[in-house]
Chain A
């Protein structure tokens, strides 16, 4: 094979999920009435925001060779804390700060800090104590959700301060600000993963931790940072979710973990670690919500989404194996 053809081939293999997304969108647009319109696409982008932001952190931890099952509960806790402090009815305390605009960065910082704390705790048990990430983050998934229910007493906080709500209402070029925020997150973290030493080290540690240790890379620090990042991004996702729903309920975000996992796998991130790119993950999230929207428009019962999602995950993993074989054969 000529180098040019090989490059094209590799490029296609690496970006298969984008091809899938485009194919699916074209098929839906042609076959489903009212699918092909700006509003629908803007809506897909907006719906993808929360799982998308969460999936970035999850993908980074998985690329580093571990797992984080706690992102969903972490997001819920961050949302609940935001609701508790800044919503005015229900269990909300209705905190208000000097100039209303200050509340946006302050509430965001608090939500992200909540995520950082959970990520730090996860990282501590995995890296310092040497426990399996699966168990540690499964435990966090349970106790953090428990904490959400406990601090809210099972009730909800409503009517988030309007100064903060701006984030959930504004549009730029007709696209919701929320969608822009998630796109910005993907751009920033894709850049970090692809172009900076930190991203490189995450990938290397996920590939062969011993080799990185011998090469003088501080693998534990990299791993711990990836857990903290996953927590911080989950916190950010929770903050966005609280803004969108103008408060928080005790069961907010339930089931998001599976969507995030599906997006990560469909996006081409290998659970073995060391393999995967963030733009692919974004395509995975968009793919999930494109299908979601199609099912809604066709007025199928929403439960079918779950069936299709499951099959899609299976297909993605199958495709991954297939890709590897193709590569071995052709390169």
Chain B
């Protein structure tokens, strides 16, 4: 198979004396959905920030799209094709849906060298993207502060579906969504992956991970505790990996995991 879209090797990150990440190795291929699981404080969010350019790793290397990368801020990661949907939404409540949808990539036309925002064009594109995704928003010119939590999240999700890029990171994307919207969100993820985009989803909810992911990567105490194809594992096993499950490792056949070092936490 060709080179993975994203390849992390030996990524570490220290906060002062605290080691949040202690050497993460993982790959994501184009068109693949990877669920990143882990307990609170396992280092998931740190890892997401490193991939999305918001944080520099202390050591280790990131290869993305065939090149060694050293992102210094999110705009570089974004320019390279990495989209991120953060847990706390990245919306500006003081402007309308269109302005949020196009935040940082406004369509402009130069008139005498001055870039002018093309509002009609942006409204058209936003309207199409949002109705294609089946989201209902009363008016695209309403300020986002007047919209519900679900509608806000829908804007973010539609934004990544529309702009796509090459790799999408979703940090707890369905926290504010209802059952039906979540189902639609999961379908959105599969649709995006089917276009050849790599997807990393962070979630706490095992059922969602098993529903959407091709592969599950478990982070525990800053290390990869498991990297398994979804089809070859069970939610119970995943839970054991998350919690450290020494019990399970004693009795279980670990042969299918032999290519990944299962870390003990003695250091």
Contact = CB atoms under 8 A, between A and B. Distances in A.
Interface of A: 3, 195-197, 200, 203-204, 206-208, 210-218, 273-275, 327-328, 331
A249 to B, nearest CB: 39
A203 B139 CA distance: 20
A277 B104 CA distance: 21
Contacts of B99: 200, 203-204
Interface of B: 52, 54, 73-75, 78-79, 84, 86, 89-95, 99, 103-106, 108, 114-117, 139, 142, 146
A197 B92 CA distance: 15
A331 B96 CA distance: 14
B116 A195 contact: yes
17 contacts: A3-B139, A196-B115, A197-B115, A197-B117, A207-B93, A211-B92, A214-B52, A214-B74, A214-B86, A215-B74, A215-B103, A215-B104, A217-B103, A273-B94, A274-B92, A274-B94, A274-B95
Contact of A207 (B78, B86, B95): B95
Contact of B73 (A3, A211, A213): A213
B90 A215 contact: yes
Contacts of B95: 200, 203-204, 207, 274
B94 A207 contact: yes
Given A3-B139, A207-B94, A216-B75, A328 B117 contact: no
A275 to B, nearest CB: 5
A204 to B, nearest CB: 5
Nearest to A63: B94
In this complex, which of A196, A207, A214 has the most chain B Cβ atoms within 10 angstroms of its Cβ? A214
Given A206-B94, A214-B86, A200 B146 contact: no
Given A197-B108, A197-B115, 4 more contacts: A197-B106, A207-B95, A215-B90, A216-B104
Contact of B106 (A200, A218, A327): A200
Contacts of A211: 89-92, 103
Contacts of B114: 196
Contact of B90 (A3, A210, A218): A210
A328 B73 CA distance: 37
A3 B141 CA distance: 11
B146 A204 contact: no
Contact of A208 (B52, B54, B92): B92
Contacts of A197: 106, 108, 115, 117
Contacts of B142: 331
B90 A214 contact: yes
B139 to A, nearest CB: 7
A217 B92 CA distance: 13
B263 to A, nearest CB: 31
A273 B115 CA distance: 24
A162 B52 CA distance: 60
A203 B94 CA distance: 8
A218 B73 CA distance: 10
A195 B117 contact: yes
B264 to A, nearest CB: 36
Nearest to A203: B95
Contacts of B116: 195-196
A327 B94 CA distance: 14
B224 to A, nearest CB: 26
Contacts of A195: 116-117
A78 to B, nearest CB: 26
Given A214-B74, A214-B84, A216-B104, A208 B93 contact: yes
Nearest to B85: A214
Given A200-B106, A216-B104, A208 B91 contact: yes
B83 to A, nearest CB: 10
B160 to A, nearest CB: 12
A324 B31 CA distance: 45
Contacts of A274: 92, 94-95
B75 A218 contact: yes
Contacts of B94: 203, 206-208, 273-275
B176 to A, nearest CB: 16
Contacts of A200: 95, 99, 106, 117
B75 to A, nearest CB: 3
A211 B91 CA distance: 6
A217 B79 CA distance: 12
Contact of B104 (A210, A212, A275): A212
A318 to B, nearest CB: 20
A277 to B, nearest CB: 12
A213 B84 CA distance: 12
B92 to A, nearest CB: 4
Nearest to A274: B94
A327 B103 contact: no
A197 B75 CA distance: 16
